[in-house]
Amino acid sequence: MFLAHIAVVFGALYSVYAFPSSVQKRAVDFFNPVTTGGSMLDNAGSGGGEPLNVIISGLSSPAVLTDDGIINYAKAIRFSTECLGQHLGDPQSANLGDGNGPVNQTVELREDFGDPNLGTCLESLIGGNHFRIFRQNGPTANSGALFLAVSKEEDLSQQHTIVPDGYNIGRNELVNNALGTTSFGGVSYTTVAKNITGLLAPGSTGVNHGIATDGITTLLVVTIN
């Protein structure tokens, strides 16, 4: 009886302490980067930053938050990897206040116009929506959340600069694609959204290209069905 009691206690302690990062990762939607020295603007390398205007919650299904998982989810909402795997331009970085400091984007995904294999080649030519992903997983703020810098850009002849009001437009288009039930590759998702104010300051201060934003960040919680 005594040994059985000890086993129960040990098992309880093991479940609490053996996997602290996974427990913490599932505890919150995200941590506000600004409160721990980070920023809700990434570093675009031109003296300004792109707003991190969509967050995929750390409370989403864990498989969604992996590298492969977010790419499959992106394909379910009409985005895909870059044309023939080729990327033009330098990666951008972001400091999410998680103790990792500035970290380069995990991946950049582009609108695929319904063709996940070659559609992003069309986006590279005529412009469209795209986003960069940054993961909050450092030692001081390990939410596992994915912070997205979403924007709509001009065509190749305009060097892919952001369209007027392109940060708000890009965010809204992505969210509209994501809401409700979507699927790709045999995986079905349900996405709900909530708009948050107070993370990003409205206006154009510090924003790349001087394009003003409305200050709204949209939080997405994505659940695999």
The series of mean pLDDT values per 10 residues for the chain, 225 residues long, is 37 33 63 98 92 98 98 98 72 97 97 93 90 98 98 81 95 98 98 98 96 98 98
State residue 19's pLDDT score.
31
State residue 47's pLDDT score.
81
CB atoms near residue 204 (< 10 Å)? 14
State residue 1's pLDDT score.
42
> Could you tell me if 151 and 167 are in contact, meaning their C-beta atoms sit under 8 angstroms apart?
yes
Domain range list for the chain: 24-224
CA distance linking residue 49 with residue 174, whole number of Å: 20
pTM for this structure?
Answer: 0.87
Whether the CA torsion 166, 171, 175, 178 is positive or negative: it is: positive
State residue 25's pLDDT score.
44
